[in-house]
Structure formats: structure tokens, C-alpha cells
Amino acid sequence: MANTKKIGDLLLRSTHLEVDNIVVKLRALRVASLESRQRHNRPPKLPSRRILMGVAEGLSAALFPNRLGSSDLADEGVDHYVGHTLNITLRELMVQIQHELHYNSGSAVLSNEDRERSVAITQAFARRLPDIYTLLESDIVAAYEGDPAARNVDEVLVCYPGIMAITHYRLAHELHCLGVPLIARMVSEIAHSITGIEIHPGAQIAGSFFIDHGTGVVIGETAIIGQNVRVYQAVTLGAKRFPVDESGALVKGNLRHPIVEDDVVIYAGATILGRITIGRGSTIGGNVWLTRSVPPGSNITQAQMRHEMFEGGAGI
């Protein structure tokens, strides 16, 4: 027994020594990294992913309290619950906005101007919540009406990964537009990590948007999607190429993703690349690879695209 204790103590001491050495090496690497980026001071805190997960859940619960809120919520207590949830959640969001603004400023301390700006952004975002709710209601109805397996709208809200991804996107898009793109991206990526659906918060998506099944869907930053559009799993609305500037760095912010007009259906596995337009009422078949615009009412199939690719030797 005594020997076992001695061995345990020895292991504990050696582990502490090893951890201490690792801590020293990691500190040296951090300092070198900061110096290489000409940041000698301790960098400001970034927004917290963990807290933003709670913010997204709180906002979802406030928007749909009877389905995503407390399970024992009585009818007469709904408004109180929504108000209480919003007060807590919006305060947490405001603090995270302060972290992003402070980080972007590069200042040692948060300025009064950025503090006031965080309040203004939070208030502006809060005022947008009724409009976000209206859009999400249209998305939920579109999913229910577009999926014969859906038995009711409540099932769509609590079960469908596409609705979760769209909810996070619609919250994130408003934050993106209000000038906190890092928080917006983090909120969107929280849903991406859970659902496998990636929607950049900069994308512009109108109402009644339905993502069926969803896993593997990618929607790029500058994509524009019209009203009543339906996409299936593994659809990509991406960029065709990535131009570089004179120094060889990627050009940021150029319009590089597709425009999808109203009433379009895009089936599983389709890849649509570049700043092209899919005309209103078109249907894009499964596994189609599309890099050109198509007029309204088009019906694009994989067989058709293969014929065009190899006709006259093109694409060989």
C-alpha cells in the first residue's frame, strides 16, 4: 500500500513538471505569434461561442415559447416568460457585441463610443425580432406544405434540421447587417456544426425558404435567394473561382455566388457556381453541375448537361 502511494505521488509530481514545461512552451509560442502580427499587448477577448449558443437558444425560445421554451409554461405566463428571456438574452448578446467591437478596435480598453454602439446594435436587433418571426413562420409553413412526411407545423419546428439552420441564419443575418459579422458567423456556424447545413450570414434569403433533409447544403456569402425556393441535401451555391489581387491575396467581398429567383427547386447534389442567375420557376435536377445562367421556367437535368458538355468534343 505504501509503495503504491509512493508511485502515485511520483507520477503526480512528474505530471505536474511536464505540464509546467508545456505551459512555458505554449506561452513562448503565443508571444512569438503576437509579435509576428505586431500585437505586443494582450489581445481583447473574442465573443464566446458557448455564450452565443445560449443566446441563440434563448432567442429561439422567445420567438416560439410554446414549442421551444419551458415545457411547463402556462398560457397566462407566456408574455412574462418571453420578456424575461429577452431581457437576459439581449444583455448577454450586448456583452458579446462589446467584445467584438473592442477586438476590432485594437484598443487596450473598450471605448465609450463602442459601448454606446453595442447598446444601439442590440436595440436595433431587438426591434427586428418581429420581422424575423414573420420570415420564420413562412419558412415553417413552406416546409410543412413541401414535405408529405410532415404531419404538422410543430413537428417541422422541433424536428427539422433545415428549420434550425434557417433560424440561426435569420438571426445571424440581422447581426451581420448591423455590423457584427464575427458574432453573426459564429451563430451561423453553431447551427452548421449541429445540422451539417452551412449558410453564410451575408447571404440574402427571402421568405418561404425550405431546406429538405439538409445535410451538406452550402450557401455562400453573396448568394441571393428569392421567395418560395426549395433545396435538397448536398446542394451547393458556391463560387466558381477566387480572384487574387496584385500581391496574390484573395479578393474579398466580390459578388461570386448565384442568384436564385422565386419559385425555384434545386434537387439533391446539385452544384451551382459563380455569379449566375437561375430564372424564376426553374427546376435544377439532382447532381447537376451548373456554371451558366438559365432563363425562367428552365428544367435542367444531369443528362442534358452531359450532352452539352461533350457535344462537339467540349469538356473532353
Q: Running DSSP on this structure, what letter comes out for residue 250?
A: B
d(CA 62, CA 69): 7
What pLDDT is recorded for position 194? 97
Are 110 and 229 contained in the same domain?
no
What pLDDT is recorded for position 10? 52
Is 205 inside any structural domain? no
Q: What is the CATH number of the domain that holds 151?
A: 1.10.3130.10
Specify whether the CB–CB gap between 157 and 167 falls below 8 A. Answer: no
**Residue-wise burial string across 253-268, b where 16 or more C-beta atoms lie within 10 A, e elsewhere:** eeebbbbbbebbbbbb
What pLDDT is recorded for position 34? 73
Are 148 and 240 contained in the same domain?
no
Q: What is the CATH number of the domain that holds 233?
A: 2.160.10.10
What pLDDT is recorded for position 3? 60
Indicate the Cα dihedral angle 37, 38, 43, 48, nearest 10°: -20
CA 39 to chain centre: 29
Are 93 and 148 contained in the same domain?
yes
pLDDT along the chain (316 residues), means of 10: 57 62 85 71 84 98 92 83 96 98 91 96 97 97 96 96 98 98 98 98 98 97 98 97 80 91 98 98 97 97 68 42
Are 98 and 238 contained in the same domain?
no
Are 191 and 223 contained in the same domain?
no
Is 56 inside any structural domain? yes
d(CA 253, CA 236): 19
Are 172 and 256 contained in the same domain?
no
Closest by alpha carbon to 229, among 190, 202, 255, 199? Answer: 199
What pLDDT is recorded for position 312? 46
d(CA 195, CA 199): 11
Structural domain including 74 reads: 44-196
